[in-house]
Amino acid sequence: MKVNYHKNITLDDLVDLVHINKFYLIRIFKQEVGMSPIDYLIHIRIDEAQKMLRNTNIAIADIAHLVGFQSPSHFSKTFRELSNCTPSQYRRQGNQ
């Protein structure tokens, strides 16, 4: 997931990859990582977006797509929930 975070990865994709029951995968993953596989993927995407916001001038909408979000508005909402600020605010804070 850390390498392919930008792709449209689903739980079914992970199940097909590891050949175990979906519910067992979720349970084991949660025990080991502390969150569901999809939540983990979202955290990776937001972490990568934060790096891009700090280190590049790429437009926020483009960053949203580059890290795997289908919609910039969904990206902004998710970013705000996990980072306690908007992507724009995060970028400004990083440049101060």
Extract the residue ranges of the chain whose pLDDT is less than 50.
none
For the 11-94 domain, the top CATH level (class) is mainly alpha
DSSP string spanning the chain? --SSTTS---HHHHHHHHTS-HHHHHHHHHHHHSS-HHHHHHHHHHHHHHHHHHH----HHHHHHHTT-S-HHHHHHHHHHHHSS-HHHHHHHHT-
**HSE-up of residue 85 (Cα within 13 Å, Cβ side):** 10
pLDDT score of 54: 96
The domains of the chain are located at 11-94
pLDDT score of 95: 60
